[in-house]
Amino acid sequence: MSKSTSDYQVEFLKQYNKIKDPNSGYFRKLGNLLVPYHSVETLVVEAPDYGHETTSEAFSYYLWLEASYGRITQDWAPFNAAWTSLETFAIPSSTDQPTNSGYNASKPATYAAEYPSPSKYPSQLQSGVSVGSDPIAGELKNAYGTSDVYGMHWLLDVDNIYGFGHCEDGTNTAPAFINTFQRGSQESVWETVTQPSCDMMKFGGKNGYLDLFTGDSSYAKQWKYTDAPDADARAVQVAFQAEQWAKAQGKSSAVADVVKKASKMGDYLRYSLFDKYFKKIGNCVGASTCAAGTGKDSEHYLISWYYAWGGSADPSNAWAWRIGDGAAHQGYQNPLAAYALSTDPGLKPLSSTGASDWATSLGRQLEFLQWLQSADGGIAGGATNSWDGQYGTPPAGDPTFYGMYYDWQPVWHDPPSNQWFGFQTWGMERVAEYYQATKDARAKKILDKWVPWAIANTTVGTGGSFQIPSDLTWTGAPDTWNASNPGGNTSLHVAVKNYSQDVGVAASLAKTLMYYAAGSGDTKSKTTAEGLLTALTGHEDAKGIAVPETRADYNRFDDAYNASTDQGLYVPPGWTGTMPDGDKISSSSTFESIRSFYKNDPDWSKVQSYLDGGPAPTFTYHRFWSQSEIATAFATHVDLFG
């Protein structure tokens, strides 16, 4: 069926009202603010290891949901409330990062190698390895009058299910800052030990959780946070949208405060544009031989996988550190955010070089995506300035991008980081939205090749039936990048391994196709997008739009470490400790044994019967990002074709 514009608006409001309905269970109310859960359901293990945790990603989608609501209703109060929630809960307060005054920008951090397996951890701190200087700390402090960092920590325990509370105070303070991934590329979520972001050594072992990850001669109580740059960049992207929409309504002042704060977040987001230890970009082989960077020669200008910062818990002995990341994944790039931060008067950062850094980043990101585009159209993994996370020697003949090494699965390998089709649509949506806003021919060139590939692998039937790519496989490699004469990547190929009905990714794909159609006038992409949106409405339920999924990977709940396969939860022999609820941590622990709260979950029996030899369990999940993606896809149609 064809839908009129008003029908898409009806679908947006229907989906929006389901997400905001307190009975649906998407949010926890804290005071007068809402905190989005990762999912309505509690028993879910993916990047977060529990459904009622939340991520900076979820906060960024909450902002997007409310921006779309403001565009349609002209009511910007919920949008402003979403930023207040994000700022209150996801950005550590001054109290939660108390010792930044001890940060020395000429010695940002002490080097520790990353390793391919958790079994190689803890990783010894190596003070003899030179690190570069941080060229932006001073200008950020001058611009904002503080030594604190204005970025979102990526993971929070919204209901304090683990019991860490605030800085391990043992109370039911929620949400609590926590972390999981700490041990190299092979550490899947199933192999993580959840730990507090503020380690006061009250739980865990004799040194808290610190000596699971880092080897040192002695340990101090400390705080540490990790930023997921794609979420912060999405928040900037959404603030830019909101600014444009509010301006068209004559309501610029309604969103001005949030736009200013998004600009500040984008300024600090530049930490993701630097090598992890501020070493020189390009041909950086050998931890001791690769030169320390000075000025901006440690800046690769790509949005990397993370940046992180931390310091001592004791203000009388103040020290602090900051790191960037030398590994960049195609799916994290956001040319629209770079464009907004470099050109938009409301979003240009206050710092002296913030806008110019983002202007360089915009061009560099578009080159990066062109460099990674396969002969078929899909975008390959990424590049790193630090092979294997330890400035190792890359394979012979590995192609380069400004001296950084091609990596088909940057940062993590279980599962491969560029296997999921969603990383194609997340990245390309931003490129398409940027293209629609600017008509930049560089973006169009990438989309002209990507869109036909995506459409050729998408099927829309009747009665809600559809399928889109799920997992991808990669062969070959790109040509070494030559900016003045780019190669055609004739040996780089992608194949679709299997298909799915992932509703969030389908909505993301529909958005990408709509922005491309609006910019280029291409009718096939618009028709395909509308077909996907109509198909999604065939899967409506009381809480949103969802389809059942079977989780064969849940057999990993009870996997103890197996040295012969290097799979399962690794805890060093002889290391013992305790989770806040009394769960013991030792070399025989499993994912589930240090998360015994899962046995009380209403859905646990489905997993237990699978572990006992029954069939893989099936769940119907309502993930916050996914449901918001669907709602905002309906709103995108209203915006572009209304």
Active-site residue set = 57, 230
Rg (CA), the chain: 23
Rounded Cα distance, 280 and 385, in Å: 9
Q: Please report, to the nearest 10 degrees, the dihedral formed by the alpha carbons of residues 343, 335, 303, 223 taken in order.
A: 60
Nearby residues of 605 by Cβ (< 8 Å), 6 or more positions away? none
CB 471, CB 502: distance < 8 Å: no
Extract the tokens encoding 477: 């490699």
Tell me the torsion sign for CA atoms 363, 365, 366, 371.
positive
Q: Which residues of 566-590 are buried (b: 16+ CB within 10 A; e: fewer)?
A: bbbbbbeeebebebbeebebbeebb
Closest CA to 79 of 260, 232, 238: 238
Q: How many CB atoms lie within 10 A of CB 137?
A: 20
Rounded Cα distance, 511 and 533, in Å: 10
Q: What is the helix (H) or strand (E) element at residue 609, kind and residue range?
A: helix 604-611
Q: How many CB atoms lie within 10 A of CB 165?
A: 19
Q: How would you classify residue 18: left for phi > 0, otherwise alpha for psi between -120 and 50, otherwise beta?
A: alpha
CB 331, CB 303: distance < 8 Å: no
Rounded Cα distance, 80 and 5, in Å: 27
Strand partners, 36: 27
Nearby residues of 132 by Cβ (< 8 Å), 6 or more positions away? 108, 275, 277, 278, 279, 280, 291, 292, 293, 294, 298
Nearby residues of 31 by Cβ (< 8 Å), 6 or more positions away? none
